[in-house]
Structure 1
Amino acid sequence: MPYGDDLDARFDELVSQIGDDERRRMRAAAGKAARASRAPRAARRATPAGPPRRTPRVLLAVAVMLAVILAGGLVVAFRPDVLSAIRQAAGPVPEETLPVSSAPWAAGPFAGSPAETYADGIAGFVMPPAKALGGLSTKDVAEALKRTRELLAAAYLDRATLMGGRPAAFIKALDPVQRTVFRENLDHGTKDDFDSRNWVASFAPKTAELATGVIKVEGRTMLAAAKEGGHTGVRMKINYLLVYAVHRPGQPATMIRVVVHLKGELFAYREHGKLVVWVEHLGHTSTPARCDVQDAFIHPVYADSADGSVAPSGPPSDPYELDQPEHEGCSTSEAT
């Protein structure tokens, strides 16, 4: 049978399944649509020739098909088992049409952890109100707090430093006299000697990539009058948590949160008419990180990391506890 005759036969069979009243309504609607589609004669002459207009029979076919589709939709709405049967009969659904499953950490790298409510970046280094203290004016104390904040940001937020590079931003923020000391003791790589890399946060090269530009920060700085080396001034005691979302280089699916607990003290005083902000000490602990590598870098522990040669000890501590007691060596921690 020619293709056109076959199509007509199928159409007639389909129409025969519809009642007389329904067919009359469809023809009326098709006729109305056809009349509405006829352009004025002048407009038709000006319009380039195009495809043939749909005849009322074709429009009726469209209406019939819509009616069948709608009827099918009603069947599916009331009989979901029919839809299941159709799917089974049609075979497996192509993979590219399936819903994409939620990627790990889809809600965000800090979702579900205390870090979710922490401030972003330098905004988390909250400083106390400046006041005259330890022989320094309010203006001096305000300047000392400003420099302290800049030092902390350079040590713990600078991307080059975090990725194991030279901590140039921190060196620049140090007092000129202390810069020399820092440079001379940077990256000694020995267990017993002082390594000034401990003053900053640096992931061991090729062990981590930042999963996001956001670093979460929470904590405080406390002020107190102090005397040191014949100078009177203000001691700034710092205590902060920093939370980094990192993953193995080129492997986003390995992402973890690393919590760094920063503690230290800085001393501000006046000497030869200048305000000096001196780092007395800075240090941090990192979770989860290897305990068996003593090179002043952070070596993150991923879910698939092998056990280190040094096992953690003691009861599990909360890495998000700002005031947890000091612990020597490698301690056990709760999940980050």
Structure 2
Amino acid sequence: MPADADEHAFDDGPVFDDDFVRSAAFTEPSARERAHVPGRRERWRARREERRSAPFGGGLGREWGGRRPRWALFRGSRHAGYRDPSHRKAVVQVISGVMVLLLISTALWWWNRPGDAGGAAGGAALLPLPAPSPGGGPADPFAGSPAADYADGEAGLQMPDPKAVNGLSEADMALAYVQVRKLLVAANLDPTVVFERRPDAFARLLEPRQRREFERSLDRKGPKNSRAWVTSFAAGSAERAADVVKVRGTVTARKQRDQGADGAKVTTDHLFVYAVRRPGSPSTTMRVIVRRATEVFVHREGGRVRLRIVRTDSSTAPMACDFGDAFVHPTFPGTPGAAPPGKPVDPYDLSAPIQAAQPCQQVTHV
């Protein structure tokens, strides 16, 4: 081999001089350096340096034509032996937000749960009343309740078309319906009866024999108290907050034989919704719902159509249960007293019969 060839045989190989040895020296990191977790700024700088030093200037993404492989998008930094603290912080923030929302929704449910809204006694939750008028009470005390769609007063006492039944002609039934309507008006809509407690107008509509019975038993102590035949608010308990009473209900008739006489039983079932307030206190305006179901026997006797009240039942909400005098004693929000026993019922529901054994019940709302 020529001397020139020997001289240049290793020109293209590495030169193991002092500079090479110093640059290749490896220094083991200290314990503090090994325990140190790089921060966000340090990781960003390291990735930037890595991209700069990569053969194609773009690292992994460049090798795949500008798109990172799908698996690489989800690796995160788990392969580096730790989880990014910013991820952990985000998870904690999300969990905290969910907990706050749960606490808020639970508090709202507790505040608005049935039977306890507004602190109404008797388990009655008051449906929201509209904003008060300049006088202090709501402009429309029925707004926001089912009663808002009910008819006003006598317009809600619609009678069925008269039909002949069990010996009574069509004309007889038409006259009977007129009398039944008058009885309902006097018992539940006449302000003199309802708020002044004087049922004279109602008594005059009764047959003489039943009128004497009614007047003799009026305000008598015990279950035979005929005050229960009419709706009367107890003295000093409430006053009218609106001139109108909202009414909704049904009237049916079917043939009946009673005390040896043939005729028809007319059954009425109505809701009467009153807007009342504490005397002289417009801000206490609320609704009181009286449901009254009455059975009237209609027959011909002595050449004329006669009516006799066979039965009348009622329930009221919200009302105190411990008086037993057949007057309506409304319970306004904040009135002390224990709630009646039993499961709360909807006082606007006419589908179930009145429970005569339980005239005072908890209600879901008024």
Take 1:160 and 1:205, find their aligned partners in 2: how far apart are those partners?
Answer: 12
Paired residues of 1:164 and 1:297 also in contact (CA < 8 A) = no
Q: Structure 1: which 5+ residue stretches go unaligned?
A: 1-100
Paired residues of 2:228 and 2:327 also in contact (CA < 8 A) = yes
Q: Is residue 2:138 matched to residue 1:109?
A: no
Q: Is residue 2:346 matched to residue 1:318?
A: yes
Take 2:254 and 2:132, find their aligned partners in 1: how far apart are those partners?
Answer: 50
Residue 163 of structure 1 is matched in structure 2 by: 195
Q: Deviation at 1:333?
A: 0.4
Any residues of structure 2 matched to 1:87-106 within 5 Å, and which? 102-103=132-133, 106=138
3-state SS of the aligned residue for 2:344?
strand
- Counterpart code for 1:320: Y
Take 2:233 and 2:245, find their aligned partners in 1: how far apart are those partners?
Answer: 14
Take 2:232 and 2:147, find their aligned partners in 1: how far apart are those partners?
Answer: 20
Q: Deviation at 1:144?
A: 0.3
Take 2:353 and 2:188, find their aligned partners in 1: how far apart are those partners?
Answer: 22
Residue 72 of structure 1 is matched in structure 2 by: none
Residue 269 of structure 1 is matched in structure 2 by: 299
Q: Deviation at 1:324?
A: 2.4
The Cα offsets for residues 104-157 of structure 1, whole Å up to 9 and x where unpaired, read as: 663511001110010111111111100111100100000001000000000000
3-state SS of the aligned residue for 2:201?
helix
Residue 239 of structure 1 is matched in structure 2 by: 269
Paired residues of 2:154 and 2:185 also in contact (CA < 8 A) = yes
Aligned residues: 232
Take 1:325 and 1:202, find their aligned partners in 2: how far apart are those partners?
Answer: 22
3-state SS of the aligned residue for 1:145?
helix
Q: Which has the larger radius of gyration?
A: 2
Instruction: Pick closer, same or farther for the CA change 1:109–1:125 going to 2, 3 Å.
Output: same
Take 1:225 and 1:181, find their aligned partners in 2: how far apart are those partners?
Answer: 26
Q: Deviation at 1:102?
A: 4.7
- Counterpart code for 1:314: G
Paired residues of 1:204 and 1:299 also in contact (CA < 8 A) = yes
Residue 168 of structure 2 is matched in structure 1 by: 136
Higher relative contact order (CA 8 A, sep 6+): 2
Q: Structure 2: which 5+ residue stretches go unaligned?
A: 1-130
- Counterpart code for 1:196: S
Any residues of structure 2 matched to 1:147-226 within 5 Å, and which? 147-188=179-220, 190-191=221-222, 193-226=223-256
Take 1:324 and 1:202, find their aligned partners in 2: how far apart are those partners?
Answer: 24
Instruction: Pick closer, same or farther for the CA change 1:233–1:102 going to 2, 3 Å.
Output: closer
Q: Select 1:290's aligned residue among 320, 334, 337.
A: 320
Take 1:171 and 1:102, find their aligned partners in 2: how far apart are those partners?
Answer: 38
- Counterpart code for 2:277: H
Paired residues of 2:138 and 2:285 also in contact (CA < 8 A) = no
Name the % identity: 41
Residue 58 of structure 1 is matched in structure 2 by: none
Paired residues of 2:162 and 2:170 also in contact (CA < 8 A) = yes
TM-score (norm 2): 0.61
Paired residues of 2:154 and 2:247 also in contact (CA < 8 A) = yes
Runs of 4 or more above 6 Å deviation = none
Instruction: Pick closer, same or farther for the CA change 1:165–1:117 going to 2, 3 Å.
Output: same
Residue 253 of structure 1 is matched in structure 2 by: 283
Paired residues of 2:314 and 2:354 also in contact (CA < 8 A) = no
Q: Select 1:121's aligned residue among 144, 147, 153.
A: 153
Report the RMSD for the aligned CA atoms in angstroms: 1.4
Paired residues of 1:182 and 1:196 also in contact (CA < 8 A) = yes
Larger % of strand: which? Answer: 1
Any residues of structure 2 matched to 1:19-98 within 5 Å, and which? none
Instruction: Pick closer, same or farther for the CA change 1:102–1:206 going to 2, 3 Å.
Output: closer
Q: Deviation at 1:326?
A: 3.7
3-state SS of the aligned residue for 1:142?
helix
3-state SS of the aligned residue for 2:342?
strand
3-state SS of the aligned residue for 1:269?
strand
